[in-house]
Amino acid sequence: MALPSTGEMTGTEKSVSAERDDLSVEMYGIWKRFPGVIANQDVNLDLRVGEVHSLLGENGAGKSTLMHILSGIYRPDAGTIKIAGKTVDFRSPAQAIEAGIGMVHQHFKLVETMTVAENIHLGWNETPRNISGDILARRTEKLSQEFGLYVDPNTKIWQLSTGEQQRVEILRVLARGAKVLILDEPTSVLTPAEAEELFKGVRTLAAGGRTVVLISHKLEEVMAVSDRITVLRNGKVVARRMKQECDQNTLATLLIGQEMVSRLQRNERPFGKPVLEISNLSALNDRGLPALLELNMVLREGEILGIAGVSGNGQVELGEVITCLRPVQKGVIRIEGKDLTGKTPAHSVEAGVGHIPEDRVNVGLAAALSVADNAILREYKSKEIARGIVINSREAFLFAKKLVEQANVRVPNTRVLVRHLSGGNQQRLLANREIRIATHVLIAVHPTQGLDIGATEVLRNLLIKYRNEGGAVLLISEDLDEILVMSDRIAVMYNGRITGEFNADQADRSQIGLLMGGGKTSASLSASFVKEQP
């Protein structure tokens, strides 16, 4: 199809010529409430032209919300936004992009079955009508060169790696003339090599006069790429610094705060013999990337080992590998000296491993089944209840009734479906069922996530009681307070490895925070102690 050659490149040329617009951003007194939580409280933020500005904060600190406000997705409850000195009030992301603000989200919004070029031009008001694939490809090629972000225009999205898909998302936003580019936790989906590549691109864009906002909770990358850093905690700005004024230690303290937590009642008893021993364990995540890298760990009787870390550093995979839900690539898992590597979940139950998984409703329990069915779900081996596939329904009923009473699950009868229970009731049912199985080890992954204070208290006490009676608990939690309150020993997990270890009475919040963000401390050295154990 013949289009005049002058017309076909307008989109690209315009974004080149508009390059030098100076788009400073000021946000004043921004408030945003959601039901039950204040996501942003009186936040001030300024972005200077040509800087890489990191928004640093723990999960839930309010980083994404603040940037959703700037990019027109949410309107603030109160506050003012000025762009290049002029007050704006965006009603939609389209208005924000019109003003030069573009955001790349944590979850991509590309159409998998279309090509790179088609995705870049999709829904863009400067896409010429009735245009051939060739022209779209050429326009894409040109954008790609302009911004130094290489992608093959004719490849379908589903054929690309995550790093390449992200590049397409960034190009989409830049093509529409974004002068302020917001990247929400961009490295959480990338390999280290891809992340490095991205940061090079980010520095180039900033050098070319664009402003880049990097949302992150990783200290190392924030220190590597930023010019300035704003730290958010519980919806408020707690610090605003030039990169040169910061080191990872001070940032870690700012990130997690200094509130002290009280420790739960526990009896003082010496730890027993090792029950769970893991050596050189490697495994892949669902995307086929390394999730665990030659990890070593020992857990003893009567001990709670807390695994601290930001989600996505291999913790969930660790729980799955120990309970034989995920294959081992390399290494050995032993329970009481017996090799559990490469076995099935039934073997792990037999070996005395209980599991409170992260997803209690879909993985731990069967939401569509009754309380009674869920209570007996793991009784493969019980002679009273099951002979082969034949269930003795009377015994099953009595068993379920007893477990429900013991767990203090408040239901009118055991025929009620699990999905109708409150989170607290579900978790008590699951935890009591698993503790019964866990003659040696209990793996508890984010066990109190989403529970109210009362239900949390009950569950924590249940774990402590199990430990006091000689059980061994591997407690995986993103909640550092929970780790500090519950654990006898604390290990920090980062990038599939244990990067530091502390006895709970010597645990130092800011050191743990530093390790969680990928920093290094003297405690990293003591991690080698774990390695040398047989």
Ligand X SMILES: Nc1ncnc2c1ncn2[C@@H]1O[C@H](COP(=O)(O)OP(=O)(O)O)[C@@H](O)[C@H]1O
Give the binding site for ligand X (CB under 6 A).
34, 37, 39, 57, 59-65
- Which stretch in 63-71, 126-134, 356-364, 393-401 sits in contact with Mg ion by CB under 5 A? 63-71
**Would you say 230 or 253 has its CB closer to ligand X?**
230
| DSSP code per residue over 309-376 | --TTSSHHHHHHHHTTSS--SEEEEEETTEE-TT--HHHHHHTTEEEE-S-IIIIIS-TTSBHHHHHT
Q: Toward ligand X, which CB reaches closer, 182 or 404?
A: 182
What minimum distance in Å lies between the beta carbon of 63 and ligand X? 4
If the CB atoms of residues 57 and 500 are measured against ligand X, the closer one turns out to be 57
Q: How far is the CB of 60 from Mg ion (least distance, A)?
A: 8
Query: Applying CB under 5 A, does 521 fall inside the site for Mg ion?
Result: no
If the CB atoms of residues 61 and 151 are measured against ligand X, the closer one turns out to be 61
36/534 with CB nearer ligand X: 36
Pairing of the two strands 304-308 and 274-284: unpaired
Q: Which does 59 bind (CB under 5 to 8 A by kind): ligand X, Mg ion, none?
A: ligand X
119 backbone dihedrals φ, ψ, rounded to 5°: -65, -40
Q: Rule CB under 5 A: is residue 65 a binding residue for Mg ion?
A: no
3-state secondary structure 7-19: HHCHHHHHHHHHH
For residue 406, the minimal CB distance to ligand X (Å) is 33
DSSP 415-429: TSBGGGS-HHHHHHH
Stretch that binds Mg ion, among 38-46, 60-68, 76-84, 284-292 (CB under 5 A): 60-68
CA distance 178 to 187: 20
CB of 216 to Mg ion, least distance (A): 10
Beta carbon of residue 332, minimum distance to ligand X (angstroms, whole number): 37
Minimum CB distance to ligand X smaller for 37 or for 94: 37
Choose between 47 and 61: whose C-beta lies nearer to ligand X. 61
DSSP string for residues in 8-76: HTHHHHHHHHGGG----EEEEEEEEEETTEEEEEEEEEEE-TT-EEEEE--TTSSHHHHHHHHTTSS--
Closer by beta carbon to Mg ion, 64 or else 211? 64
How far apart are alpha carbons 238 and 56 in whole angstroms?
10
64 belongs to the binding site for Mg ion (CB under 5 A): yes
Q: Which does 39 bind (CB under 5 to 8 A by kind): Mg ion, ligand X, none?
A: ligand X
Closest distance between ligand X and the C-beta of residue 236, in Å? 11
Q: How far is the CB of 25 from ligand X (least distance, A)?
A: 18
The H or E element spanning position 229 is strand 228-233
CA distances to 116, 200, 421 from 501, rounded to whole Å, are: 45, 33, 38
Least separation in angstroms between residue 424's CB and ligand X is 19
Residue with Cβ nearer ligand X (35 or 388)? 35
In the complex, residue closest to Mg ion by CB:
64
Smallest gap from Cβ 238 to ligand X, in A, equals 13
115 vs 187, beta carbon nearer ligand X: 187
Which among 72, 462, 504 has a CA at the least distance from the CA of 262? 504
Helix, strand, or coil here: 107? coil
Range 375-383 contact pairs with CB under 8 angstroms and sequence separation of 24 or more: 375/399, 375/400, 375/403, 375/404, 375/414, 375/429, 375/433, 376/400, 377/433, 378/349, 378/433, 378/434, 378/437, 380/346, 380/349, 381/346, 381/349, 381/350
CB of 63 to Mg ion, least distance (A): 5
Give helix then strand counts, H and E, for the chain: 19, 22
- Number of amino acids touching Mg ion (CB under 5 A): 1
For the CA atoms of 305, 311, 314, 317, what is the dihedral angle to 10 degrees? 90
If DSSP states are collapsed to H, E and C, what string results for 173-202?
Answer: HHHCCCCEEEEECHHHHCCHHHHHHHHHHH
**Cβ nearer to ligand X, comparing 66 with 429:** 66
Q: What is the smallest separation between the CB atom of 67 and Mg ion, expressed in angstroms?
A: 8
Residues that bind Mg ion (CB under 5 A): 64
